[in-house]
Each structure stands twice: as structure tokens, then as C-alpha cells.
Amino acid sequence: MEKQELGLMPKASKQKPQIGKDTTDQTNIINSFKELVESDRIQEFVLYGIDSDGQIIVASYCSDIYTGIGLTEMGKLAYMNQQVNGEE
């Protein structure tokens, strides 16, 4: 199975996202994620977001709390690694 990454921005772009300006990137990410769920390539997940009022929104579909915590930690590490290596 080939490795597939989802990120906040396409790999080719080095610009910071203009939050709230254009939802094209966000919609593309959600649609890609949805396709992976529908094709059974993603079995469990945890999603985080911040709404326009600054409230954190969490959506999860996990078999147990330990899987949810593990997915959260892996996501944090992957994001930090991208930032450290300049792969935004």
C-alpha cells in the first residue's frame, strides 16, 4: 500500500494559509479523507479543528480511548516534524 499524506496545504506551496479566506484547501483535504474512509483504507480516526469563535472541535471514531490517544500523539509528532523540517 502506498503511503498517502494529508496536510493543511499542498506540498508544492510554501505559503502560510490565509485562514478563513479560501476554503478550497480545507475542502480538498476533507474530500480526500472521506474517500480514504469510504474505501476502508482508514479504519479509525481523530480530527481536531478550531471554529470561528476559537472553540476546539474534536471528532473521533476509535475502538477505544487508547487508540484515540495514540492517534493524537502520532498526529502531533508528524505535524511537529513537518514544521521542524520546513515541510509545511
Q: What is the pLDDT along the chain (88 residues), one digit of tens a residue?
A: 444 555 544 444 455 666 667 788 888 889 999 999 999 999 999 988 888 898 889 999 999 999 999 999 998 888 888 778 765 5
Strand partners, 47: 59
The 3 state secondary structure assigned to the chain is: CCCCCCCCCCCCCCCCCCCCCCCHHHHHHHHHHHHHHHCCCCCCEEEEEECCCCCEEEEEECCCHHHHHHHHHHHHHHHHHHHHCCCC
The residues spanned by each domain of the chain are: 24-84
What pLDDT score does 24 carry?
A: 84
CB 67 within 8 A of CB 44: yes
Model confidence, pTM: 0.64
The set of cell numbers assigned to 3 is: 503511503
